């Protein structure tokens, strides 16, 4: 073998070495992770185009609507918020006049009142709000003309208002679109849920499977794992929904296929030297009422004995399946439970049971407990004695989602990170108990027209402060329609500069050395 060929061989071997150990265990001290948000758990704001093909796409599950009689110019009202009569007598719309849609098909809907009951047509043609579980009598067919609606029963008769402000279902002929007693104007009061439930139930099972299969295949790939490993990242936090435990045929309307993609993520992680944190992002019944917990209509139904047991079964499934995988770093038992609707004692009991389940399969996997969102002090989890070994508390730090941050300029945001976040991280580091993990943060704020240098300074401040967390941090999220939330966009455009990039790592230096050896050998042979 000639010297040039030998040099080329050395160079090639060093390239392979660098690629296959781009983020090796030897580098693993603290977690520097990126969330794979919007991939196996849908969040419409991350990729809005997922919802583009849904017919009547502004009438998804959980959309809040108000109905105004064209004839009376009064709003339909569930008196007392539900549980009794319905009147058409209000000049302005508030909570009693607002209904959450439950979508049955693209033209069939149920209307849920403020207190949880549904509009029903079961009482001698008079519409009331007395039924807790909807069925045929609570299902209405919608005919639309832009914002104008006709509302029809399966029998063919239409809803109409009466002169004494009642809502009845005895309009027998086809109504027109003028000032008709059977015509209503719909106002959409809120349309902020675009999660797995809305997507699957919006498209229907066949089309939803096609849309989600393509999304899961293309949104996150092995190339993303490679790019992360090349830019200072040593782990990924992977949000999953509870229905993953029922793959390939989860309960309706959820769509199977997420489990094979989670398996693929573990494979990519092993290839590129990353670790995986499995994050149960959506629990049965929803733990916070948000789209990323797969809530149907914004309600929180998780804190029930049945749903908690289902959730523990999901943790058991995940722990059993991945405990022996060398890429598993930890399992997060529940993402962002709501302080307003999830009692602390209920959450602590669940966390303790979940810890024992994970430990029954792995002595080393970290068990991660997310703090409650809302008005809750993370110290409450440090005082709860959740488990003796390899435990972590997850904090989510955003200078967003609160009117307080809207008034801060760039300098004040950066100062807030140093003056408010850093003392809390240090205090929790010093607490007796779990390690500290900033499991979600982002290089975004409410500062209008901020410069690249201002974003860099803000990102630098967060990296420094969250880098002090004893377990580490995880950026939200890997890709996003809103570019400053997009980790890869931030790195490519140098809005966020993370240490440990290829130019700073020893294995990259080895690769460069291989190149130099090759050039030297070429020089000598001449």
Give the pairing type, strands 140-145 and 108-112.
Answer: antiparallel
Looking at 43, 332, 336, 444, which residue is catalytic? 336
DSSP H/E element including 295: none
Dist. CA 423–CA 4, nearest whole Å? 57
Contacts of 194 (CB under 8 A, 6+ apart): 42, 43, 44, 45, 48, 50, 51, 60, 291
The answer to whether 336 is a known catalytic residue is yes
From its phi and psi, is residue 289 left (phi > 0), alpha (psi between -120 and 50) or beta? left
CA distance readout (Å), 227 to 30, 255, 500: 19, 29, 13
Contacts of 182 (CB under 8 A, 6+ apart): 150, 151, 158, 159, 160, 171, 175
Dist. CA 290–CA 300, nearest whole Å? 9
Contact yes or no for 363/389 (Cβ under 8 A): yes
The first and second tokens of residue 208, run together, are 């939803």
Q: Kindly tell me the sign of the dihedral angle through the C-alpha atoms of 74, 75, 76, 79.
A: negative
Measured in residues, the chain has a length of: 526
Torsions phi, psi for 6 (to 5 deg): -65, -45
The first and second tokens of residue 98, run together, are 């607002």
196-211 as b/e: b if 16+ CB within 10 A: bbbbbbbbeeeebeeb
Dist. CA 254–CA 286, nearest whole Å? 14
Looking at 97, 138, 332, 440, which residue is catalytic? 440
Residues labelled as active-site residues: 336, 440
């Amino acid at each position: 073998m000639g010297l040039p060929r030998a040099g080329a061989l050395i160079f090639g071997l060093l390239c392979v070495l660098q690629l296959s150990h781009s983020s090796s265990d030897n580098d693993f001290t603290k977690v520097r992770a990126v969330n794979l948000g919007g991939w196996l758990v849908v969040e419409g704001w991350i990729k809005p185009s997922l919802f583009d093909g849904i017919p009547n796409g502004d009438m998804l599950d959980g959309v809040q609507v108000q109905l105004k009689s064209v004839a009376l110019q009064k709003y339909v009202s569930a008196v007392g918020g539900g549980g009794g009569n319905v009147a058409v007598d209000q000049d302005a719309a508030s909570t009693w006049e607002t209904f959450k849609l439950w979508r049955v098909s693209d033209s069939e809907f149920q209307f849920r009142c403020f207190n949880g009951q549904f509009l029903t047509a079961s009482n001698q043609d008079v519409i009331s709000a007395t039924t807790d579980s909807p069925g045929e009598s609570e299902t209405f067919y919608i005919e639309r003309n832009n914002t104008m609606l006709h509302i029809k029963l399966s029998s063919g008769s239409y809803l109409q208002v009466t002169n004494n402000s009642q809502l009845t279902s005895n309009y027998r002929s086809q109504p027109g679109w003028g000032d008709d007693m059977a015509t209503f104007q719909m106002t959409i009061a809120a349309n902020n849920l675009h999660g797995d439930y809305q997507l699957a139930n919006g498209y229907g099972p066949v089309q939803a499977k096609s849309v989600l299969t393509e999304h899961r295949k293309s949104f996150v790939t092995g190339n993303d794992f490679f790019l992360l490993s090349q830019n200072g990242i040593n782990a990924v936090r992977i949000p999953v929904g509870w229905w993953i435990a029922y793959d390939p045929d989860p309960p309706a309307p959820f769509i199977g296929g997420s489990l094979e993609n989670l398996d693929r993520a573990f494979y990519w992680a092993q290839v590129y030297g990353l670790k995986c944190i499995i994050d149960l992002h959506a629990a049965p019944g929803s733990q916070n009422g948000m789209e990323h917990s797969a809530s149907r209509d914004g309600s929180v139904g998780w804190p029930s004995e049945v749903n908690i047991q289902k959730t523990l079964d999901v943790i058991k499934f995940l722990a059993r399946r991945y405990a022996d995988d060398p890429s598993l770093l930890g399992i997060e038992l529940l993402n962002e439970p709501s302080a307003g609707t999830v009692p602390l004692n209920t959450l602590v009991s669940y966390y303790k049971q979940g810890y024992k389940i994970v430990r029954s399969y792995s002595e080393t996997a970290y068990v991660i407990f997310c703090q409650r969102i809302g008005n809750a002090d993370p110290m409450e989890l440090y005082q709860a004695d959740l488990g003796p070994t390899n435990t972590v508390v997850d904090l989510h730090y955003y200078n967003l989602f609160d009117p307080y941050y809207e008034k801060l300029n760039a300098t004040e945001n950066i100062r807030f990170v140093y003056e408010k976040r850093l003392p809390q991280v240090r205090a929790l580091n010093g607490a007796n108990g779990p390690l500290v993990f900033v499991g979600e943060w982002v290089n975004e704020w409410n500062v209008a027209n901020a410069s690249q240098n201002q974003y860099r300074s803000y990102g630098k401040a967060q990296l420094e402060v969250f880098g002090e967390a004893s377990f580490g941090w995880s950026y939200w999220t890997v890709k996003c329609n809103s570019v400053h939330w997009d980790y890869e966009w931030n790195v490519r455009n140098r809005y966020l500069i993370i240490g440990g990039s290829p130019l700073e790592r020893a294995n990259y230096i080895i690769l460069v050395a291989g190149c130099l050896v090759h050039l030297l050998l070429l020089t000598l042979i001449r």
